[in-house]
Amino acid sequence: MIARMWHGKVPAEKAEAYHQYLLKTGLKDFAAIDGNTGVFLFKKEENGIAHFYTMALWKSWEAIKKFAGEDYEKARYYPEDKDFLLEFEIFVTHMDILEKPDCI
């Protein structure tokens, strides 16, 4: 199993709207792809900035490519992200999952 971690920063006052936006875009798209086994969404606020982290869990590299394309190391963005994000990080992080809770 593989974890795909992405990070984005939005102004804290847009955090709730961005959360709702993620539910309709990236998180919805993850769930629609065969080979995705779930996603965690984390948020941390500090100094007026809300940091969002997604950690999507995948069965294979092929499944990740169904979401991200052949250049799967790069982050995937949506057109409306420009209305929220303070910057666009180019790359995501992939990690092999060695251990996980039974519930996942």
CATH number for the domain including 78? 3.30.70.100
Q: From first to last of the 104 residues of the chain, give the pLDDT tens digit.
A: 999 999 999 999 999 999 999 999 999 999 999 999 999 999 999 999 999 999 999 999 999 999 999 999 999 999 999 999 999 999 999 999 999 888 76
Question: Residue 36 in 3-state DSSP?
Answer: strand
The answer to whether the pTM exceeds 0.85 is: yes
104 belongs to a structural domain: no
**Domain limits for position 10:** 2-96
- The closest of 58, 59, 87 to 75, measured between CA atoms, is 87
pLDDT given for residue 73 in this prediction: 97
| DSSP 8-state symbol, 83 | G
Number of domains in the chain: 1
C-alpha 79/C-alpha 95 separation (Å) is 27
Question: Residue 67 in 3-state DSSP?
Answer: helix
Using alpha carbons, list the distances in angstroms from residue 54 to 66, 76.
17, 12
101 belongs to a structural domain: no
